[in-house]
Amino acid sequence: MDTRNQMKAKVLAASVAAALSQMAGTAFADSSVGQDTVMSSALNRRPINTSTAGGSTDPEGMGTREPAARTPSGQMYDMPIAETEEINKTDGGWEYFGHVEAGVVGIDGDRKRQGFNRYKDVENGLYLNNFGVTMNKRDSANFFEATGGAVGNDDEFYSLKFGRYNDWMVKGFYNETPHVFTTTFRSIYNGLGSGNLTLKPGLTPGGTASVAADNLAVAAVANANSNTELGLVRKKGGARFDMNLTNEWKFFASYTNEKREGKRPFGSVWGGGGGSNPVETVEPIDYRSHDFIAGLQYNDDLNSLNLQLSGSWFRNDIDTLTFQDPYRQAAANGIAAGGFTQGRFDLYPDNDYYNAKGEYARSLPDFYKGRFTAVAAFASSRQDDKLIPYTTIPGVDLTNVAGAAENWDNTRSLSKRSAGAQIDTSLLDLGLSLNPTDDLNLKGKLRYYETKNKTDYLACNPSASYTDNDPYTAGAQAGGLSAYGCTGVWGRLTNDGSGSAVVTGATAAATALLLANGAAGNQNIRNIPFDYKKLNFVIGGDYRLNKYSSVNAAYERENIERDHRERDKTWEDKLKLGYVNRGLEDATLRLSYEHQDRRGDTYHVHSPYEEFYSGHLIPMPTAVVGATTTPTLTSWVVHMNSRTRKYDLADRKNDTLNARLNYMVRADLDMGVTGQYKNTTYPDSDYGRVEKQRASSLNFDANYQPSAERSFYGFYTYSDAKMEQQGTPSGAAAGRNCNLFAAGGPATVSAAELLCADPNSGMVFQAANFWTVTHRDQNDTLGLGWKEAFGEIRLDMNYSFSQGKTDINYNLPANLAAANRLLAGKGMPELKTTQHIFEANVLVPVNKTVSTRFMVRHEVGKINDWHYLGFDTTPVSGNPAALPTAVILDAGPQDYTTSIIGVMVNFKL
Amino acid sequence: MNIQTPFSLLRTGAIAGILLIGLLLSRSALSIPPEAKYVGEKRCIGCHLIENKHFGHTEHAKIFRQNPKNDIEKTVCETCHGPGSLHVPEKDNKNRDYIIGFTKEWGTPVEAQTEACLSCHKGGQRMHWPGSTHATNKLSCSDCHNPMARFSATGLLKKPSITETCQTCHQQQRAEFQKRSHMPVPEGKMTCVDCHNPHGSVTKPLLKADSVNEVCYPCHAEKRGPFIWEHAPVREKCTNCHEQHGSNHDKLLQTARPYLCQQCHQNTNHPAAFYSANQTANNTFGAPGVALNSRVMGRSCQNCHMQIHGSNHPAGARFQR
């Protein structure tokens, strides 16, 4: 994690945030707007409640209900904690109380392992666990409350609110959240967290003449710099102001500012499209987000109105990541071996977001006691970052492209200098609810949501031209090939020039080769502006059978139109039935069943992308070249296996059954059982997600509260999910191909479009070599808790256990080599995560204002993840004498055992 | 948009049928008898001393007692429980029709409970409560809230935190947050309400924004873009690849890479290849049957396609820069 900040600086920052809050504003708890709904930390998992901090359960409970009343669904309420009686008063009429809990924490074991500290920060030493102060001036109804916790740590938090009850309120907060990605990274770079990664001493940018030596050097440097932590800390502050303008009108406005700083594992790759020599790098995180929301709310007897404007501005203070390459890439595109010394990423660009939303509801008491709602929202996401050149390496010179004018290392090679990306969204939601009788409610809803992608980018180098003379690219046109308003060289230089996906054409002498090889593959020539329109309409009814039970039913139709996807349209019917009975003698039962059936129009594998690939520029061959060359059509007609159905577009049937029973076993004991069963099928999918996908879970919970002094709870959840997929590798069957007019190939172009991508034809894929994978996730989660008061001493113990297992089993493809078949076995090693957490707290009151809390927390985590097998010894995998298969600097997640003990003293003011 | 209408007859029939049934089976709503009068909180406290001890610390108590908006709020207890004159006499204080109770034992119909709360709290964030999933399942406000004591620091919840409150019913989600990768809910840094509005919204899963992605972007603003090179399922819905609560897999992914990616990418060459246990880095290079492959190691497909959420690099069409 990043450097630990000075406590004083953090407190100062919190104070600034608090001060800002006095200028901006907010307050009333609002679960519909914004995030930041909790101020707490790993050792204060509940927000600080100043009224009850350091207190014990009130032996009188809630009074007339013994031991505790139940919610309308039949769950026991908690026994209340006795609120503080130590209320002070100033001469000015302010009543106040407060507390501070501080002490010493000792932590032992694997406290630096990611499994333990992923979202928390606990260190040895003095620990200001939490504090709070509450003030109230009764005669003016003014109040003030401030809380905080984990002071000085990376998960610290502070909140402040003040105002006048039923009138106005200001809220401010400052909250930090750590997020550790790995603690086992072995860095070979200097400059982690910056936009410039340079190799540590001992490594050579661009590699040496000996790959074997480079491999040894990378491993040695990496292992000498092990256990580096990569993570980030979110630091967010904000303020909100709420005010009741009149009895009907309310106003609110809020502003938040979040800084994210740190670094995370990243990748890098060289060469052409498939990629070679992947070496892990480190992405810097230096983000800032500003979010502003303001709204007006109106309510009277008949009408409700919400108007809201919001804006969000994301800024990345590091635009690019330049990294040095420790390996020698092959010569390419005019650059000699060893010339690719560095690469450059364009990191997440700055973006702006605006949203205007209006919501209106009107009661229609004279029209079947109805209610009408209307929501309209318009939003726009915009991004106009300056674009960077394809490479930082000068002198890249592509075959058949005019070298002096190519300029791949500066922005003259781009069709535009900034992104100019924009997606607009709009929402219209109309609803009508009628109550023709007191027992019957009918509702209808119409919802339209649309995204419009206005981004237009051409992969066209306008300052380059072709030098060849073939008719399929530039021909004799000195300015290059013209399309979509740009004249130049099309395609893109990949991976800093170590590869290319450029429509390079061919010399006249090589024209036949071009036709035979399909111009080295179909290449992106412009962006694909994905967007969609979604229309939902719903009708439903809810009928009360008697005072305590009801049935409900709803039918929904969802139509989606997508641009540039394999299906233009999908439509889904959803039928839901529900039953609620709150009147069973000692129980509440809720049941629901939903059936969904999604279908769509013709599934096109290839054609949706045609206009975005070079097949649009270079006409598909339709004749034999010369006397004998039969051109391959693969680039033009094969995007992927045509029997694949992407699961977000595929025909799908889904049945979901939910059941929930709350049962009051005795006056002091209640139990709950919930279950869910989901069954999904993909009836038209031969490849991709296929067959059935099932998920089920069963949950039990119990809550026993025999008295205010004693309570127990327990829960157990079992879940089981299974999913299947199928694929087949590319590779033609013997005697089959996608060469026009060739033996075993398509006889016509139109036949090629139908046959080449079909695995049943064997021309590019062959069905006989199919493979299947079955995924099975099983999880067990157990929780137990015991609270007991031994006189004045209070014990609170909790234990949780969770275990997740994923078995990935497969059937091998028929063409897998015998030796590989033997070693591949029947599946991947089990993915397994286990965690035990035990926590005990003993609260010992010393007097009315002082209590002591003894705390023990013990965590054990174990993890097996085959992705990282072997990387615990060396980050370099592959042939020791060749460019490595992969350099994975992250050694992966580790087992851990960690114990925390603490002694805290709670002082009441 | 071209709307498909194969179920139009069914829909029309269903509406007509439900309307007819409803008209035939009409019943009257339950409410406190109109002759009931407000008596003021002193009468209430006369019996409910202990309740008052806890209630006095709540925000409701302070609002009603220190700055009431109207005469009903001045009555304090009866603001929520309704006029109590019929409930006061000892012989009638067990009559459940004479006061609005918010517990299972008392049995006031949920609709009446909700109506009492919405008399002050309608509109605003509760604009879409009627017809919401929670309302359809006959949840009462007091299934989540307990304004009789300060159980929670804010929100007058029945439990000390939002998360604990939601998980009293949503046990499956509680277990999901315990998985290998999860949102920082168990660590106290997020709550369910950061993404959901339990009081209703214009989306079916009670999301706080108009779409799944617009829920995710406030915390993951860098992924909002838009980018020059977009990844179609990413732009449409983050949950195409990620679980929303927790997962057995890294990064809350639906399943392990490379298999997850291959559920859509069955292209020629490496996307459609078969990946197996003999390709992990645990195997020794050159040994019989070993076929080391970067696509099963570390971050798998994202070793090379690291900009999978979109790229702004001119060469980023395959998300490699």
pLDDT recorded at residue A854: 97
pLDDT in tens, A613-638: 988 887 777 777 666 677 788 888 88
Mutate to test the interface with B, among A346, A765, A812, A887 (most CBs of B within 10 A): A346
- Closest partner residue to B303 among A42, A267, A382, by Cβ? A267
- Closest partner residue to B321 among A80, A345, A361, by Cβ? A345
pLDDT in tens, B9-65: 454 455 445 444 443 443 333 478 999 999 999 999 999 999 999 999 999 999 999
pLDDT in tens, A52-88: 998 888 888 887 656 678 999 999 999 999 998 889 9
Chain B residue numbers with beta carbons less than 8 Å from the beta carbon of A867 are 250, 256-257, 280, 296-300
Statement: residue B88 has pLDDT above 90: yes
Count how many pairs of residues, chain A against chain B, have C-beta atoms within 8 Å. 636
The CA–CA distances, whole Å, from B129 to A31, A312, A433, B133, B212 equal 12, 27, 12, 8, 20
B positions 265-304 inside 8 Å of A (CB): 265-274, 276-278, 280-283, 285-286, 288-294, 296-300, 302-304
Least trusted range by pLDDT, from A75-79, A739-743, A820-824? A739-743
Statement: residue A822 has pLDDT above 70: yes
Chain B residue numbers with beta carbons less than 8 Å from the beta carbon of A425 are 210-211, 214
User: What single string gives the DSSP state of each residue in A253-308?
Assistant: EEEEEEEEEEEEEE---BSSTT-B--B-EEEEEEEEEEEEEEEEEEE-SSEEEEEE
pLDDT recorded at residue A618: 77
pLDDT recorded at residue A679: 98
What pairs with residue A843 in β-bridges? A794, A853
Supply the ipTM of this predicted assembly: 0.93
Contact A383 B226 (CB under 8 A): yes
pLDDT recorded at residue A196: 98
Q: Are B316 and A343 within 8 A, CB to CB? A: no
Chain B residue numbers with beta carbons less than 8 Å from the beta carbon of A345 are 306-307, 313, 321
Least trusted range by pLDDT, from A653-667, A734-748, B248-262, B270-284? A734-748
Statement: residue A507 has pLDDT above 50: no
Contact B140 A528 (CB under 8 A): no
Q: How far is B36 from chain A (nearest CA, A)?
A: 22
Average pLDDT for residues A833-855, to the nearest whole number?
A: 96
- Closest partner residue to B140 among A33, A72, A442, by Cβ? A72
Contact B249 A806 (CB under 8 A): yes
CA of A894: which chain B residue's CA is closest? B180
Statement: residue A11 has pLDDT above 90: no
For residue A502, name the pLDDT band (cuts at 50, 70, 90): confident
Contact A70 B219 (CB under 8 A): no
pLDDT recorded at residue B97: 93
Chain A residue numbers with beta carbons less than 8 Å from the beta carbon of B290 are 823
* Nearest to B203, CA basis, from A126, A377, A670: A377
For residue A666, name the pLDDT band (cuts at 50, 70, 90): very high
Statement: residue A236 has pLDDT above 70: yes
Least trusted range by pLDDT, from A98-112, A488-502, B67-81? A488-502
Q: Are B302 and A377 within 8 A, CB to CB? A: no
Residue with tokens 């049962």: A663
Largest CA distance in chain B: 92
- Closest partner residue to B22 among A543, A580, A644, by Cβ? A543
- Percent pLDDT > 70 in chain A is 92
pLDDT recorded at residue B67: 97
Chain B residue numbers with beta carbons less than 8 Å from the beta carbon of A165 are 59, 62-63, 66-67
pLDDT in tens, B211-249: 999 999 999 999 999 999 999 999 999 999 999 999 999
Chain A residue numbers with beta carbons less than 8 Å from the beta carbon of B285 are 877-880, 885
Contact B22 A344 (CB under 8 A): no
Statement: residue A461 has pLDDT above 80: yes
Calculate ∠ Cα A338-A340-A341, nearest 5°: 90
B118 touches chain A (CB under 8 A): no
pLDDT recorded at residue A159: 97
Give the tokens for residue A634: 């693969």
Average pLDDT for residues A839-857, to the nearest whole number?
A: 95
Report how far residue A525's alpha carbon sits from residue A483's, in angstroms, rounded to the nearest whole number: 10
pLDDT recorded at residue A3: 44
Chain A residue numbers with beta carbons less than 8 Å from the beta carbon of B114 are none
Q: Kindly state the helix (H) or strand (E) to which residue A223 belongs, with its residue range.
A: helix A211-224
For residue A750, name the pLDDT band (cuts at 50, 70, 90): confident
Q: Are A909 and A86 within 8 A, CB to CB? A: yes
User: What single string gives the DSSP state of each residue in B154-193?
Assistant: STTBSSSSHHHHHHTT-HHHHHHTTSSEE-STTTTS--GG
pLDDT recorded at residue A66: 61
Q: How far is A155 from chain B (nearest CA, A)?
A: 8
Calculate ∠ Cα A455-A460-A466, nearest 5°: 170
Report how far residue A363's alpha carbon sits from residue A302's, in angstroms, rounded to the nearest whole number: 5
Chain A residue numbers with beta carbons less than 8 Å from the beta carbon of B180 are 804, 833, 863
Mutate to test the interface with A, among B25, B44, B294 (most CBs of A within 10 A): B294
Report how far residue B265's alpha carbon sits from residue A326's, in angstroms, rounded to the nearest whole number: 31
For residue A554, name the pLDDT band (cuts at 50, 70, 90): very high
- Closest partner residue to B248 among A672, A779, A800, by Cβ? A779
pLDDT in tens, B132-186: 999 999 999 999 999 999 999 999 999 999 999 999 999 999 999 999 999 999 9
For residue A509, name the pLDDT band (cuts at 50, 70, 90): very low
For residue B294, name the pLDDT band (cuts at 50, 70, 90): very high
| Whether the bond into A67 is cis, omega within 30 of 0 | yes
Task: Assign B17 to helix, strand or coil.
Answer: helix
Report how far residue A652's alpha carbon sits from residue A307's, in angstroms, rounded to the nearest whole number: 38
Report how far residue A693's alpha carbon sits from residue A100's, in angstroms, rounded to the nearest whole number: 52
> Whole-prediction pTM value?
0.93
Statement: residue A505 has pLDDT above 70: no
Statement: residue A155 has pLDDT above 80: yes
The 3-class secondary structure across A531-543, one letter per residue, is EEEEEEEEEEEEE
pLDDT recorded at residue A520: 54
Q: Are A805 and A831 within 8 A, CB to CB? A: yes
CA of B148: which chain A residue's CA is closest? A62
pLDDT recorded at residue A515: 43
pLDDT recorded at residue A1: 41
B20 touches chain A (CB under 8 A): no
Q: How far is B98 from chain A (nearest CA, A)?
A: 16
Statement: residue B107 has pLDDT above 70: yes
Asked whether the CA dihedral B201, B206, B211, B213 is positive or negative, the reply is: positive
Exposure letters B9-42 (e unless 16+ CB within 10 A, then b): eeeeebbeebbeebeeeeeeeeebeeebebbebe
pLDDT recorded at residue A406: 77
Q: What mean pLDDT value characterizes chain A? A: 91
B255 touches chain A (CB under 8 A): yes
Pairing of strands A320-324, A196-199: parallel
- Percent pLDDT > 90 in chain B is 88
Give me the helices (H) in chain B, please.
8-24, 41-47, 49-55, 59-66, 71-74, 77-81, 110-121, 133-136, 162-167, 171-176, 212-216, 232-236, 259-262
Chain B residue numbers with beta carbons less than 8 Å from the beta carbon of A45 are 161, 186-188
- Closest partner residue to B67 among A141, A880, A888, by Cβ? A141
pLDDT in tens, A676-689: 999 999 999 999 99
Q: How far is A162 from chain B (nearest CA, A)?
A: 13
Task: Assign A425 to helix, strand or coil.
Answer: strand
Q: How far is B56 from chain A (nearest CA, A)?
A: 10
CA of A527: which chain B residue's CA is closest? B229
pLDDT recorded at residue A802: 98
Average pLDDT for residues A834-861, to the nearest whole number?
A: 96
Statement: residue A106 has pLDDT above 90: yes
Report how far residue A215's alpha carbon sits from residue A883's, in angstroms, rounded to the nearest whole number: 8
Statement: residue A21 has pLDDT above 60: no
Contact B27 A138 (CB under 8 A): no
For residue A273, name the pLDDT band (cuts at 50, 70, 90): low
Least trusted range by pLDDT, from A352-366, A651-665, A738-752? A738-752
Average pLDDT for residues B74-87, to the nearest whole number?
A: 96
Report how far residue B182's alpha carbon sits from residue A687's, in angstroms, rounded to the nearest whole number: 30
Between B123 and A28, residue with greater pLDDT: B123
Report how far residue A526's alpha carbon sits from residue A491's, in angstroms, rounded to the nearest whole number: 8
pLDDT recorded at residue A67: 65
Between A886 and A586, residue with greater pLDDT: A886
Chain A residue numbers with beta carbons less than 8 Å from the beta carbon of B122 are 299, 304
Residues with Cβ < 8 Å from B237, sequence gap 6 or more?
A: A648, B211, B212, B213
* Nearest to A162, CA basis, from A236, A93, A243, A86: A243
CA atoms within 13 A on the CB side of A45: 11
- Percent pLDDT > 90 in chain A is 80
Chain A residue numbers with beta carbons less than 8 Å from the beta carbon of B259 are 725, 773, 775, 808
pLDDT recorded at residue A474: 45
- Closest partner residue to B51 among A64, A371, A449, by Cβ? A64
Report how far residue A99's alpha carbon sits from residue A97's, in angstroms, rounded to the nearest whole number: 7
Q: Kindly state the DSSP code that residue B245 receives in the 8-state scheme.
A: S
For residue A740, name the pLDDT band (cuts at 50, 70, 90): confident
B251 touches chain A (CB under 8 A): no
Average pLDDT for residues A528-545, to the nearest whole number?
A: 97
